[in-house]
Amino acid sequence: MYDNPAFREAFQKAKGRSEFYMDGTFVPILNADGTREWREMKVAALVKRLLGMYALPEEWGTRKLPKPSMVYAFASIAGKEEFQELCQQERRRLGVGNVSSALGDGAKWIWNIIREVFGKTEECLDIYHALEHVSDCGKALYGEGETFTSWLDKMRLTLLSEGFAGIDRELQSLEEELKDESKKSKRESVVSLRKYLHSHAERLNYCERLAGGCVIGSGLIEGACKNLVGRRMKQTGACWRVERANRMALVCSLLYADQWKNVWKNSN
């Protein structure tokens, strides 16, 4: 089915820039020896989408982006090298040289694969994932309540407006205020957040992406993990052999990408 030429033709004709998304989700697996475990199924999507309108940082949550003109998804329970090769195969199959941008969460394997497959591209850390880390730090500092909410609002706007430079400035100032030994645990939370964001410094250019009408969230691939994989493969009592799970992932990918008719129309 993957060799179907209709996929390449449809993707090449679709309007917009090429985007790449990747994530993982766990599915219940039955091993050959009868034991059961949860194994990670890696999920990826090559997408075509037109750019949206210019947006200010304050508008990030309300702006409306054009829907993708084409989504080509695939998934597999595989090791990093094996899935990397699968990404290479699908890139070539669709005739994609490079992508305009790549989005994912903080997992290192995601960014390593992206660089190996597409080379240097515009990488973006999912904004919701970044803000989750900021929120966790804020809760460690202030608990729940108005102080926490106010701080989180400020940090969110700083991150969206100034990227790493802005939020690191705020966190460094906060770290200085927490030098007292009695505040060690709180200071460590700030230090940890600074280190995390520093490791993704070049992926936090949200203001520029908003101004250019680009995506800053990886909800598309998270939706794929839920709807492509989870809805079919995580049903109550489900448990899969790896090879059967991968076959089912192929079928689910075709349905998710709305390519089922192309498969049967062009099948021999």
Query: pLDDT tens digit string along 146-199?
Result: 999 999 999 999 999 999 999 999 999 999 999 988 899 999 999 999 999 999
Q: Where does the pLDDT of residue 263 fall: very low under 50, low under 70, confident under 90, or very high at 90 and above? A: low
Domain identity same for 117 and 222: yes
Beta bridge pairs of residue 74: 44
Domain identity same for 122 and 152: no
- Residues 71-94: tens digit of each pLDDT: 999 999 999 999 999 999 999 989
- What's the confidence (pLDDT) of residue 267? 55
Which residue bears the tokens 């009408």?
A: 213
Domain identity same for 105 and 33: yes
Domain identity same for 29 and 102: yes
The answer to whether position 93 is within a domain reads yes
- What's the confidence (pLDDT) of residue 141? 96
- What's the confidence (pLDDT) of residue 236? 83
Give the phi and the psi of residue 218 in degrees, each rounded to 5.
Answer: -100, 35
Nearest alpha-carbon partner for 107 in 192, 5, 25: 25
Domain identity same for 13 and 117: yes
Domain identity same for 89 and 10: yes
Domain identity same for 152 and 166: yes
- What's the confidence (pLDDT) of residue 216? 97
The answer to whether position 209 is within a domain reads no
d(CA 29, CA 242): 6
Which residue bears the tokens 């400035």?
A: 169
- The domain boundary, picked from 203, 231, 252, lies at 203
User: Taking 50 as the threshold, does the pLDDT of residue 42 lie above it?
Assistant: yes
The answer to whether position 246 is within a domain reads yes
The answer to whether position 208 is within a domain reads no
Which CA distances in Å does 232 have to 91, 109, 169, 224, 257?
A: 26, 25, 45, 11, 15
Q: Is the dihedral of CA 94, 98, 101, 105 positive or negative?
A: positive
Average pLDDT over residues 233-255: 87
Domain identity same for 185 and 250: no
User: Taking 60 as the threshold, does the pLDDT of residue 1 lie above it?
Assistant: no
Specify the CATH number for the domain of residue 94: 3.30.420.10
* Domain encompassing residue 74: 5-126+217-266
pTM of the model: 0.90
Domain identity same for 27 and 118: yes
- What's the confidence (pLDDT) of residue 232? 82
The answer to whether position 212 is within a domain reads no
The answer to whether position 199 is within a domain reads yes
Domain identity same for 13 and 121: yes
User: Taking 70 as the threshold, does the pLDDT of residue 100 lie above it?
Assistant: yes
- Residues 192-243: tens digit of each pLDDT: 999 999 999 999 999 999 999 999 998 888 888 888 788 888 888 889 999 9
Using DSSP's 3-state secondary structure scheme, residue 218 falls into: coil
Buried b (16+ CB within 10 A) or exposed e, 195-207: ebbeebeebbbbb
Domain identity same for 132 and 67: no
Q: Where does the pLDDT of residue 258 fall: very low under 50, low under 70, confident under 90, or very high at 90 and above? A: low
Q: What is the domain count for the chain?
A: 2
d(CA 216, CA 206): 6
Domain identity same for 18 and 113: yes
- What's the confidence (pLDDT) of residue 255? 75
- What's the confidence (pLDDT) of residue 106? 87
d(CA 98, CA 101): 9
The answer to whether position 233 is within a domain reads yes
The answer to whether position 210 is within a domain reads no
User: Taking 70 as the threshold, does the pLDDT of residue 261 lie above it?
Assistant: no
Average pLDDT over residues 7-21: 92
